[in-house]
Amino acid sequence: MFWERFRIPLMLAPTLFVIIALFMGGLIYGLLQSLGWQPIIDNYDINLDAYANVMFSERYANEFWQGLALTLWVSLASTFFTSAIAIIGALLLRESFFGKKVASFLFQLNLPIPPIVIGIGMLFLFSQSGLISRIGGSLDLIERSRDFPILVKDHLGIGIIMAYVWKEVPFIGVIVLAVLQSLGADFEDVARSLGANRWQRFRHVILPLVMPGVMSGSIIVFAFTFGSFEVPALLGVSFPRVLPVMAVRFFRNPDLNSRVEGTAVAMIVALIALLLVLAYMWVSRRAVRQE
pLDDT tens-digit series, residues 53-100: 889 888 888 999 999 999 999 999 999 999 999 999 888 888 777 888
pLDDT surpasses 60 at 1? no
Q: Is residue 284 part of a domain?
A: yes
In order, the DSSP letters of 72-136 are HHHHHHHHHHHHHHHHHHHHHHHS--TTHHHHHHHHTTTTTS-HHHHHHHHHHHHSTTSHHHHHH
Cis peptide before 240 (omega within 30 of 0): yes
Q: Is residue 56 part of a domain?
A: no
Domain count, the chain: 1
Where in the sequence is the domain holding 186, given as residue range(s)?
Answer: 67-290
pLDDT surpasses 80 at 117? yes
Contacts of 32 by beta carbon, 8 Å cutoff, 6+ apart: 46
Model confidence at 23, pLDDT cuts 50, 70, 90, reads confident
Neighbours of 211 (CB within 10 A): 20
Rounded distance, CA 246 to CA 104, Å? Answer: 38
pLDDT surpasses 80 at 284? no
pLDDT surpasses 70 at 289? no
3-state secondary structure (DSSP) of residue 43: strand
pLDDT surpasses 80 at 288? no
Task: Name the maximum alpha-carbon separation found in the chain.
Answer: 79
Contacts of 125 by beta carbon, 8 Å cutoff, 6+ apart: 131, 132
pLDDT tens readout for residues 233-260: 998 888 888 999 999 888 888 887 888 8
pLDDT tens readout for residues 31-56: 888 888 888 777 788 888 889 888 98
Q: What is the pLDDT of residue 79?
A: 92
Q: Is residue 34 part of a domain?
A: no
Q: Is residue 36 part of a domain?
A: no
pLDDT surpasses 60 at 2? no
pLDDT tens readout for residues 7-22: 777 777 788 888 788 8
Q: Is residue 58 part of a domain?
A: no
Q: What is the pLDDT of residue 291?
A: 55
Give, in order, the Cα–Cα distances in Å from 105 to each of 94, 172, 192: 13, 15, 31
Q: What is the pLDDT of residue 85?
A: 93
pLDDT tens readout for residues 157-174: 899 999 999 999 999 988
pLDDT tens readout for residues 131-163: 888 888 788 777 777 778 888 888 888 999 999
Q: What is the pLDDT of residue 282?
A: 78
Considering the entire predicted model, what is its pTM?
0.85
- Domain of residue 176, CATH code: 1.10.3720.10
Across the chain, mean pLDDT equals: 84
Rounded distance, CA 189 to CA 195, Å? Answer: 10
Rounded distance, CA 22 to CA 28, Å? Answer: 10
- DSSP-assigned beta bridge partners for residue 43: 38
pLDDT surpasses 70 at 287? no
